[in-house]
Chains A and B, each alone.
Chain A
């Protein structure tokens, strides 16, 4: 078991931020409309099935201290 290293979150953040920015700011090849067939497939969806997403968020946030995604949160529950 490693002891908590206070620099770890910053490293993780900067790593992921760097990766995201690298992807976003790199020369993303122009993708023409007729080249987006794969991106339009359901399995490429960023958000997935709404009922499954809602249930996942409900279950995990009831059992874990962390919650939240890219979308603003909904209502609470008295789950214990």
Chain B
């Protein structure tokens, strides 16, 4: 349920004679707009005591997003999105045990410099109390190319208190690893992904709305990371994961208006499970507090925890019975806490925002699972500014 939906707006329009309703409507952004967001993402370097070799500096990424929404007529809406990313830094390569048994990280030797461009176009159709959106996208970088398409739909009940939503997407991806011959990487590989989702939202009362929904995604093809290696007994081998993966996620969102402070409490929870036996929980809470003169402050905290699949270990002292192994820190058992602040200003047709986030991950933050010594776990900062102009 996108708030405010066209249906709800229409119902508002029938109530314009009521006190305060004109002001409420005037405060809403029109649907047509141009939005720009700049994000600087910066990973903290690997601590010296956890680094064995390579460059300790990690990824730094500047992202620029542009989005244009144009109503073609009363029913059709065209949305065009563009993303450009410039990234540089080093990436965790493999892990080996030190003399005292502590896991030590080997980073990629040279600084990686790469760019990525992504274009998304979607056509939305709104009619009566239902809406449909068809999207196409293309993402390209030096060693990776993705082409994808999606369809999503939603339908509100006659009283606009409930909404059903559904969606499908397909992505066809190709990878051509850099320096493949030099490092013995796969020369090229392909993967694809199907995804389907169902959702339901309900207005609980005049102060609360809740949404729940599930998504199933099936990936097939080359799902390993060609840039990562693994120590298995005395050999350094390529990262090797199963070539099929089915993922299930279930998300519930609550929005609660708090009358006394005029603030909104936003609560999101996601449960994740996949056929690799990874389980994860994500809990996100945000407090959106309006201030004076169009200013608004959002403070939020996010907790994430995951349990590793059986084929993950920092390094393998014995060869696993299944021929799968990975020491990619992103598969480890760990937990992460992130904290964020966003300050937003809105006046007439203009909206500006500045935000900061700090993300801290650590094995000790895991909700459950066997503790693992994972030197590659990442901490990062994210700074962003955004501008929106209503057309």
B-chain residues with CB within 8 Å of residue A72 when the two chains form the complex: 150, 152, 167-169, 195-197, 215
Q: Contacts A23-B202, A29-B205 given: A63-B2 contact, CB under 8 Å?
A: no
Which of B16-24, B45-53, B95-103, B315-323 faces chain A? B16-24
Q: Is B185 part of the binding interface, using a Cβ–Cβ cutoff of 8 Å? A: no
Q: How big is chain A's contact interface, by range?
A: 35 or more
Residue of A nearest to B334 (CB): A64
Verify if B84 is at the interface (C-beta below 8 Å from A).
no
Is B269's beta carbon under 8 Å from chain A?
A: yes
Known A4-B369, A78-B141; contact A71-B253, beta-carbon cutoff 8 A: no
Residues of B within 8 A of A74 (CB): 120, 135, 137, 148, 150, 169, 171
Task: Name the one of A42, A54, A66, A70 contacting B197, with C-beta atoms under 8 angstroms.
Answer: A70
Give the residues in chain B near A9, CB-CB below 8 Å: 271, 273, 279
Given A28-B202, A31-B161, A36-B12, CB of A75 within 8 Å of CB of B147: yes
Query: Which residues from chain A contact B206 at a C-beta distance below 8 Å?
Result: 29, 31, 35-36, 38-39
CB-CB contacts below 8 Å: A36-63 with B: 36-47, 49-52, 54-55, 59-60, 63
Is B124 in the interface zone, CB < 8 Å from A?
Answer: no
- In the complex, which residues of chain A have a beta carbon less than 8 angstroms from the beta carbon of B279? 9
A-contact bits for B258-278, CB 8 A (1 contact / 0 none): 000001101001111110001
Distance A50 CA – B49 CA, assembled complex (angstroms): 40
Within 8 Å by CB of B201, from A5, A41, A46, A73, lies: A46
Which residue of B83, B296, B380 contacts A43 across the interface (Cβ within 8 Å)?
B296
Q: Quick one: which of B118, B247, B386 contacts A51, CB cutoff 8 A?
A: B386
Let me know if A77 and B116 touch, CB within 8 A: yes
Selected A-B contacts with CB under 8 Å, 13 pairs: A28-B203, A37-B24, A41-B264, A42-B3, A46-B209, A51-B67, A64-B306, A66-B282, A70-B197, A72-B169, A74-B137, A75-B173, A77-B146
Lowest 8 CB-CB distances: which A-B pairs, in order?
A: A78-B144, A70-B213, A75-B148, A33-B11, A68-B249, A66-B280, A40-B4, A66-B272
Query: A interface vs B, CB < 8 Å?
Result: 1-5, 8-9, 12-13, 16, 19-20, 23-24, 26, 28-31, 33-47, 49-52, 54-55, 59-60, 63-78, 80
